[in-house]
Protein backbone atom coordinates (compact mmCIF):
# COMPACT_ATOMS: atom_id res chain seq x y z
CA UNK A 1 0.00 0.00 0.00
CA UNK A 2 2.83 2.39 0.90
CA UNK A 3 4.38 1.69 -2.50
CA UNK A 4 1.16 2.56 -4.33
CA UNK A 5 0.82 5.79 -2.36
CA UNK A 6 4.46 6.62 -3.06
CA UNK A 7 3.99 6.09 -6.79
CA UNK A 8 0.81 8.19 -6.67
CA UNK A 9 2.73 11.18 -5.33
CA UNK A 10 5.59 10.51 -7.75
CA UNK A 11 3.09 10.63 -10.60
CA UNK A 12 1.49 13.80 -9.28
CA UNK A 13 4.94 15.35 -8.95
CA UNK A 14 5.86 14.47 -12.53
CA UNK A 15 2.47 15.68 -13.68
CA UNK A 16 2.93 19.04 -11.97
CA UNK A 17 6.28 19.49 -13.72
CA UNK A 18 4.72 18.62 -17.10
CA UNK A 19 1.86 20.99 -16.35
CA UNK A 20 4.18 23.91 -15.60
CA UNK A 21 6.14 23.21 -18.78
CA UNK A 22 2.98 22.89 -20.90
CA UNK A 23 0.88 25.67 -19.42
CA UNK A 24 2.59 28.40 -21.44
CA UNK A 25 2.34 26.30 -24.60
CA UNK A 26 -1.41 26.02 -24.06
CA UNK A 27 -1.50 29.74 -24.85
CA UNK A 28 1.13 30.19 -27.57
CA UNK A 29 0.43 26.88 -29.33
CA UNK A 30 -3.05 25.95 -28.17
CA UNK A 31 -4.65 29.38 -28.34
CA UNK A 32 -2.61 31.00 -31.13
CA UNK A 33 -1.51 28.00 -33.18
CA UNK A 34 2.16 29.01 -33.17
CA UNK A 35 4.61 26.10 -33.01
CA UNK A 36 7.24 27.67 -30.75
CA UNK A 37 10.23 25.34 -30.63
CA UNK A 38 12.09 27.92 -28.51
CA UNK A 39 9.69 27.34 -25.60
CA UNK A 40 12.21 24.96 -24.04
CA UNK A 41 14.84 27.70 -24.09
CA UNK A 42 12.45 30.02 -22.25
CA UNK A 43 12.29 27.31 -19.57
CA UNK A 44 16.10 27.26 -19.60
CA UNK A 45 16.12 31.05 -19.17
CA UNK A 46 14.04 30.65 -16.00
CA UNK A 47 16.57 28.12 -14.69
CA UNK A 48 19.55 30.40 -15.26
CA UNK A 49 17.61 33.36 -13.87
CA UNK A 50 17.27 31.45 -10.61
CA UNK A 51 21.01 30.72 -10.63
CA UNK A 52 21.87 34.39 -11.17
CA UNK A 53 19.40 35.67 -8.57
CA UNK A 54 20.83 33.29 -5.98
CA UNK A 55 24.29 34.68 -6.69
CA UNK A 56 22.96 38.16 -5.90
CA UNK A 57 20.70 37.24 -2.97
CA UNK A 58 22.44 34.90 -0.55
CA UNK A 59 19.25 33.78 1.22
CA UNK A 60 18.00 30.72 -0.68
CA UNK A 61 14.41 31.24 0.48
CA UNK A 62 14.23 34.89 -0.55
CA UNK A 63 16.06 34.27 -3.82
CA UNK A 64 13.58 31.54 -4.79
CA UNK A 65 10.59 33.81 -4.28
CA UNK A 66 12.30 36.66 -6.14
CA UNK A 67 13.27 34.25 -8.92
CA UNK A 68 9.63 33.30 -9.51
CA UNK A 69 8.83 36.93 -10.32
CA UNK A 70 12.04 37.67 -12.23
CA UNK A 71 11.85 34.35 -14.10
CA UNK A 72 8.32 35.19 -15.25
CA UNK A 73 9.46 38.61 -16.47
CA UNK A 74 12.57 37.27 -18.23
CA UNK A 75 10.65 34.49 -19.98
CA UNK A 76 7.86 36.90 -20.87
CA UNK A 77 10.30 39.46 -22.28
CA UNK A 78 11.94 36.80 -24.46
CA UNK A 79 8.56 35.65 -25.73
CA UNK A 80 7.38 39.19 -26.47
CA UNK A 81 10.64 39.94 -28.31
CA UNK A 82 10.27 36.76 -30.37
CA UNK A 83 6.68 37.63 -31.27
CA UNK A 84 7.45 41.23 -32.25
CA UNK A 85 10.67 40.38 -34.09
CA UNK A 86 9.70 37.23 -36.00
CA UNK A 87 6.39 35.53 -35.23
CA UNK A 88 4.21 38.51 -36.14
CA UNK A 89 5.12 38.00 -39.79
CA UNK A 90 4.39 34.27 -39.81
CA UNK A 91 0.98 33.66 -38.26
CA UNK A 92 -0.29 32.08 -41.47
CA UNK A 93 2.89 30.02 -42.02
CA UNK A 94 3.10 27.40 -39.24
CA UNK A 95 5.98 25.47 -40.82
CA UNK A 96 8.04 28.64 -41.01
CA UNK A 97 7.40 29.39 -37.35
CA UNK A 98 8.57 25.88 -36.45
CA UNK A 99 11.84 26.28 -38.37
CA UNK A 100 12.52 29.83 -37.24
CA UNK A 101 11.83 29.19 -33.56
CA UNK A 102 13.96 26.03 -33.70
CA UNK A 103 16.82 28.20 -34.93
CA UNK A 104 16.16 30.77 -32.21
CA UNK A 105 16.31 27.97 -29.66
CA UNK A 106 19.74 26.88 -30.90
CA UNK A 107 20.96 30.47 -30.70
CA UNK A 108 19.71 30.81 -27.13
CA UNK A 109 21.40 27.54 -26.15
CA UNK A 110 24.72 28.76 -27.53
CA UNK A 111 24.18 32.13 -25.84
CA UNK A 112 23.76 30.32 -22.51
CA UNK A 113 26.95 28.31 -23.12
CA UNK A 114 28.90 31.48 -23.87
CA UNK A 115 27.73 33.18 -20.68
CA UNK A 116 27.52 30.34 -18.15
CA UNK A 117 29.74 27.67 -19.72
CA UNK A 118 28.88 24.08 -20.61
CA UNK A 119 29.08 22.53 -17.10
CA UNK A 120 25.74 22.21 -15.32
CA UNK A 121 24.91 24.71 -12.59
CA UNK A 122 23.23 23.86 -9.31
CA UNK A 123 20.87 25.99 -7.25
CA UNK A 124 20.62 25.60 -3.49
CA UNK A 125 17.12 24.79 -2.26
CA UNK A 126 15.82 26.77 0.73
CA UNK A 127 16.11 25.22 4.16
CA UNK A 128 12.34 25.09 4.52
CA UNK A 129 12.16 22.82 1.48
CA UNK A 130 14.71 20.31 2.73
CA UNK A 131 13.62 16.82 3.74
CA UNK A 132 10.24 15.27 3.18
CA UNK A 133 6.75 14.91 4.55
CA UNK A 134 5.19 11.55 5.43
CA UNK A 135 1.77 11.21 3.80
CA UNK A 136 -0.16 7.95 4.29
CA UNK A 137 3.09 6.14 4.97
CA UNK A 138 4.96 7.52 1.94
CA UNK A 139 7.74 10.11 2.24
CA UNK A 140 7.22 12.94 -0.25
CA UNK A 141 10.04 15.49 -0.77
CA UNK A 142 9.02 19.03 0.16
CA UNK A 143 10.42 20.33 -3.12
CA UNK A 144 7.95 18.15 -5.03
CA UNK A 145 5.07 19.39 -2.89
CA UNK A 146 6.16 22.97 -3.55
CA UNK A 147 6.18 22.38 -7.31
CA UNK A 148 2.72 20.80 -7.13
CA UNK A 149 1.35 23.78 -5.19
CA UNK A 150 3.08 26.16 -7.62
CA UNK A 151 1.46 24.38 -10.58
CA UNK A 152 -2.00 24.63 -8.99
CA UNK A 153 -1.46 28.35 -8.28
CA UNK A 154 -0.26 28.96 -11.85
CA UNK A 155 -3.30 27.22 -13.34
CA UNK A 156 -5.64 29.14 -11.03
CA UNK A 157 -4.02 32.48 -11.87
CA UNK A 158 -4.15 31.78 -15.61
CA UNK A 159 -7.79 30.70 -15.41
CA UNK A 160 -8.69 33.89 -13.56
CA UNK A 161 -6.86 36.03 -16.11
CA UNK A 162 -8.60 34.34 -19.04
CA UNK A 163 -12.07 34.29 -17.52
CA UNK A 164 -12.32 37.40 -15.38
CA UNK A 165 -10.11 40.14 -16.83
CA UNK A 166 -10.42 42.42 -19.88
CA UNK A 167 -7.16 40.98 -21.24
CA UNK A 168 -8.54 37.44 -20.98
CA UNK A 169 -11.72 38.46 -22.80
CA UNK A 170 -9.63 40.05 -25.55
CA UNK A 171 -7.54 36.88 -25.89
CA UNK A 172 -10.64 34.71 -26.17
CA UNK A 173 -12.20 37.10 -28.67
CA UNK A 174 -9.12 37.06 -30.93
CA UNK A 175 -8.94 33.25 -30.75
CA UNK A 176 -12.61 32.81 -31.64
CA UNK A 177 -12.64 35.29 -34.52
CA UNK A 178 -9.70 37.61 -35.13
CA UNK A 179 -11.41 39.67 -37.84
CA UNK A 180 -14.59 40.27 -35.85
CA UNK A 181 -12.55 41.13 -32.74
CA UNK A 182 -10.61 43.76 -34.68
CA UNK A 183 -13.78 45.33 -36.07
CA UNK A 184 -15.06 45.49 -32.48
CA UNK A 185 -12.08 47.63 -31.46
CA UNK A 186 -9.85 44.90 -30.00
CA UNK A 187 -6.16 45.42 -30.79
CA UNK A 188 -5.02 42.03 -32.06
CA UNK A 189 -1.37 43.17 -32.00
CA UNK A 190 -1.47 44.06 -28.29
CA UNK A 191 -3.35 40.84 -27.59
CA UNK A 192 -0.83 38.70 -29.49
CA UNK A 193 2.12 40.27 -27.66
CA UNK A 194 0.38 39.92 -24.29
CA UNK A 195 -0.46 36.28 -24.96
CA UNK A 196 3.14 35.50 -25.86
CA UNK A 197 4.37 37.39 -22.80
CA UNK A 198 2.15 35.41 -20.44
CA UNK A 199 2.79 32.05 -22.10
CA UNK A 200 6.56 32.54 -22.20
CA UNK A 201 6.55 33.94 -18.67
CA UNK A 202 4.94 30.73 -17.44
CA UNK A 203 7.80 28.84 -19.12
CA UNK A 204 10.20 30.95 -17.07
CA UNK A 205 8.34 29.99 -13.90
CA UNK A 206 8.62 26.33 -14.91
CA UNK A 207 12.37 26.81 -15.22
CA UNK A 208 12.57 28.22 -11.70
CA UNK A 209 10.74 25.15 -10.40
CA UNK A 210 13.03 22.75 -12.25
CA UNK A 211 16.09 24.08 -10.42
CA UNK A 212 14.69 22.50 -7.24
CA UNK A 213 14.93 18.95 -8.61
CA UNK A 214 18.04 18.98 -10.79
CA UNK A 215 20.95 20.86 -12.26
CA UNK A 216 20.72 23.50 -14.98
CA UNK A 217 22.30 23.15 -18.41
CA UNK A 218 21.81 24.89 -21.79
CA UNK A 219 19.75 21.92 -23.06
CA UNK A 220 17.50 21.42 -20.04
CA UNK A 221 14.47 22.86 -21.81
CA UNK A 222 14.69 20.33 -24.64
CA UNK A 223 14.15 17.55 -22.11
CA UNK A 224 10.62 18.79 -21.49
CA UNK A 225 9.64 20.41 -24.79
CA UNK A 226 8.23 17.36 -26.62
CA UNK A 227 6.37 16.14 -23.52
CA UNK A 228 4.88 19.61 -23.11
CA UNK A 229 3.64 19.62 -26.72
CA UNK A 230 2.11 16.17 -26.22
CA UNK A 231 0.29 17.35 -23.09
CA UNK A 232 -1.23 20.29 -24.98
CA UNK A 233 -2.26 18.13 -27.95
CA UNK A 234 -3.80 15.42 -25.76
CA UNK A 235 -5.67 17.96 -23.64
CA UNK A 236 -7.03 19.74 -26.70
CA UNK A 237 -5.67 22.88 -28.32
CA UNK A 238 -6.48 25.96 -26.28
CA UNK A 239 -8.07 24.01 -23.44
CA UNK A 240 -6.52 24.72 -20.03
CA UNK A 241 -8.60 22.06 -18.27
CA UNK A 242 -7.52 19.51 -20.85
CA UNK A 243 -3.87 20.46 -20.30
CA UNK A 244 -4.27 19.91 -16.55
CA UNK A 245 -5.91 16.51 -16.96
CA UNK A 246 -3.44 15.35 -19.60
CA UNK A 247 -0.39 16.42 -17.57
CA UNK A 248 -1.40 14.53 -14.44
CA UNK A 249 -2.69 11.53 -16.41
CA UNK A 250 0.65 11.15 -18.21
CA UNK A 251 2.55 11.70 -14.96
CA UNK A 252 0.63 8.98 -13.14
CA UNK A 253 0.77 6.57 -16.08
CA UNK A 254 4.53 7.01 -16.42
CA UNK A 255 5.05 6.63 -12.67
CA UNK A 256 3.24 3.30 -12.30
CA UNK A 257 4.61 1.78 -15.52
CA UNK A 258 8.16 2.81 -14.58
CA UNK A 259 7.76 1.16 -11.19
CA UNK A 260 6.77 -2.15 -12.79
CA UNK A 261 9.37 -1.96 -15.60
CA UNK A 262 12.12 0.59 -16.29
CA UNK A 263 12.24 4.29 -17.18
CA UNK A 264 12.99 3.55 -20.84
CA UNK A 265 10.18 1.03 -21.23
CA UNK A 266 7.80 3.41 -19.45
CA UNK A 267 8.60 6.13 -21.99
CA UNK A 268 7.90 3.76 -24.86
CA UNK A 269 4.63 2.48 -23.38
CA UNK A 270 3.39 5.99 -22.62
CA UNK A 271 4.21 7.09 -26.16
CA UNK A 272 2.31 4.11 -27.61
CA UNK A 273 -0.68 4.94 -25.42
CA UNK A 274 -0.56 8.55 -26.67
CA UNK A 275 -0.46 7.42 -30.30
CA UNK A 276 -3.44 5.10 -29.78
CA UNK A 277 -5.39 7.83 -27.98
CA UNK A 278 -4.77 10.35 -30.77
CA UNK A 279 -5.88 7.78 -33.35
CA UNK A 280 -9.17 7.42 -31.50
CA UNK A 281 -9.59 11.09 -30.58
CA UNK A 282 -7.27 13.29 -32.68
CA UNK A 283 -8.88 16.51 -31.42
CA UNK A 284 -7.79 15.75 -27.85
CA UNK A 285 -9.84 15.53 -24.69
CA UNK A 286 -11.60 18.84 -25.29
CA UNK A 287 -12.07 21.08 -28.32
CA UNK A 288 -12.30 24.84 -28.49
CA UNK A 289 -15.48 26.30 -29.96
CA UNK A 290 -14.90 29.09 -32.49
CA UNK A 291 -16.96 31.16 -34.90
CA UNK A 292 -14.25 31.22 -37.51
CA UNK A 293 -15.35 30.23 -41.04
CA UNK A 294 -11.81 29.20 -42.01
Confidence label for 2 from pLDDT (cuts 50, 70 and 90)? low
Task: Give the DSSP H or E segment for 146.
Answer: helix 142-164
- Tell me: pLDDT of 292 over 50: no
d(CA 236, CA 249): 14
- pLDDT band at 50; cut points 50, 70, 90: very high
Question: What tens digit of pLDDT does each residue of 133-165 get?
Answer: 887 777 788 888 899 999 999 999 998 988 888
| Closest C-alpha to 179, from 79, 291, 254 | 291
In 10 A of CB 1, how many CB atoms?
8
Q: What is the pLDDT of residues 248-273, one digit of tens each?
A: 999 888 888 888 888 788 888 888 99
Q: What is the 3-state secondary structure (H, E, C) of 184-206?
A: CCCCHHHHHHHHHHHHHHHHHHH
The string over 261-281, giving b where at least 16 C-beta atoms fall within 10 Å of a residue's C-beta and e elsewhere, is eeeeebeebbeebbeebeeee
Amino acid sequence: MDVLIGQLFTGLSLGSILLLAALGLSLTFGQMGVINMAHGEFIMAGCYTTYVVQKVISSAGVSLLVSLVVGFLVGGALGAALEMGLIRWMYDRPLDTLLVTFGVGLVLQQFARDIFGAPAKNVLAPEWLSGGVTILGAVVPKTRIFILVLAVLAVTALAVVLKATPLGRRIRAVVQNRGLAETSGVSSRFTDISTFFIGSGLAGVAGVALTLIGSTSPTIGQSYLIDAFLVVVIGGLGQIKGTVIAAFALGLLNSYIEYETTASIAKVVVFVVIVIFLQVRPQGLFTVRTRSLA
